[in-house]
Structure 1
Amino acid sequence: MADIDEKWGAAVAERGFAQIPNYLLLINQFLDGDHRLTPGELLVLLQLTASWWKKDDLPFPSVETLATRCGISSRQVQRALVKLEGLNLVRRVQRRTRGIIASNAYDLSPLVEFLGEVAKAFPNEFPRRLGPVQAQRLRAGLVRPAALSQPAQEVLPKSARRLRLAKSPKAPTA
């Protein structure tokens, strides 16, 4: 948190921050042209990701909340969610609170799986340099190294078959 305070200032850091994988920020580079996300769709996906604080607690912002945060209409958010579901990047989960229908929750595990496959197919070209403490922990086996040296995957998992990696000539098409 000290790095964030130093970088952004305490007032900004106190409001909170989100962990967004770089592969997610670059997702359109890995999608076939017909499946690329519009700016609104990407912003909805980023807002869902920013609302996901704990692995086992699904994010559940309402459509209206997403619309406000993204600066788009509720209808545009609904269309974005339909496309994200169609691309198998998110799954809507109905919720109830005391028997009353509440805002949907969103399962982002398909997105996690897809980005994992992207990471295997397109290893990081610019890995971070480790400091002495991280290098020592890695050598001691306390941290698992990223699989940067794995060859590109030619076959995508079932969940990612609707998407085609743009730079992979042998990737299956839908």
Structure 2
Amino acid sequence: MSNDQETIWGPYLSEAGFTIIPHHLLFINSLVTEEMHLTASEIMLLITLISFQWKPKTKVFPSIKTLSNRSGISERQIQRLILGLEEKKYIIVNRRTSNVNIFDLSPCIELVKNLIKEEKNYFRDNNMDSKDFRNMKNIGIFLRKNIMK
């Protein structure tokens, strides 16, 4: 962990744990079509699920109760949100007879990776500097028009 992060969060962050969330996931609604838009609760649930994925290409299996406790969302609402994330194809759920499901986050991860790749390719192909472009106000509108056709 960088010293800057330690200054911001304190020296015990690496011991307490943290989750890396790509910026493109945080502003996903400005990058995807309307049918793929996520509610704030769906994003919170996705972030909570991501916090369980410690190694590449692994599935996660927190219980509904654990997801509820960690996210502050009721168990019933968690169940509805899972269905929504499945319908929008952000996750795949392998339902088990017990209270524990197996969640595959690879659709979400691949979507974000593809958004980043397409954005970089577009900037490269058009001799644009993506770092300068990030400061523009309407990046989402631009990306939807030019990348998410």
User: What is the TM-score when the length of structure 2 is the normalising length?
Assistant: 0.75
Q: Which amino acid aligns with 1:51?
A: F
How far does residue 55 in structure 1 lie from its aligned partner after superposition? 1.1
Q: CA deviation at 1:40?
A: 0.6
Q: Secondary structure at the match of 2:93?
A: strand
> By how many angstroms is 1:117 displaced?
2.0
Quote the RMSD (CA, aligned, Å). 2.7
Task: Show the counterpart of 1:23.
Answer: 24
Identity of aligned residues (%): 32
Larger helix percent: 2
Match of 1:168 in 2: 145
Q: Secondary structure at the match of 1:168?
A: helix
Q: State how far apart, in whole Å, the 2-side matches of 1:59 and 1:147 are.
A: 33
The reply to whether residue 72 of structure 1 matches residue 73 of structure 2 is yes
- Larger Rg over CA atoms: 1
Q: Using the alignment, how far apart are the partners of 1:150 and 1:62 within structure 2?
A: 45
Q: What do the CA deviations read for 1:48-86 (whole angstroms, capped 9, x no partner)?
A: 111110113312111111111111111111111101111
Q: Name the CA distance, whole Å, in 2 between partners of 1:33 and 1:166.
A: 13
Q: TM-score, normalised by structure 1?
A: 0.65
Q: Could you give the per-residue CA deviations for residues 127-172 of structure 1, whole angstroms, max 9, x where no partner exists?
A: xxxxxxxxxxxxxxxxxxx996257xxxxxxxxxxxxx97136856
Structure 1 outlier segments of 4+, above 6 Å: none
Structure 2 gaps of 5+ residues are 127-141
CA shift in 2, pair 1:5/1:33, >3 Å? same
Could you tell me which residue of structure 1 aligns to residue 36 of structure 2?
35
What is the CA distance between 1:116 and its match in structure 2? Answer: 2.0
CA 1:28–1:57: 2 relative to 1, 3 Å: same
Provide the aligned length of Structure 1 versus Structure 2: 133
Q: Is the 8 A contact 1:120 1:150 kept in 2?
A: no
> For the residues of structure 2 that align with 1:92 and 1:40, how far apart are their CA atoms?
18
In structure 2, the residue matched to 1:115 is 112
Q: Report 1 or 2 for greater relative contact order, CA contacts < 8 Å, sequence distance ≥ 6.
A: 2
Richer in strand (by share): 1
Q: Name the structure 2 match of 1:89.
A: 90
1:149 corresponds to: 124
Give 1:89's aligned amino acid.
Y
Consecutive unaligned residues of structure 1, counting only runs of 5 or more, are: 124-145, 152-164
Alignment-derived partner of residue 136 in structure 1: none
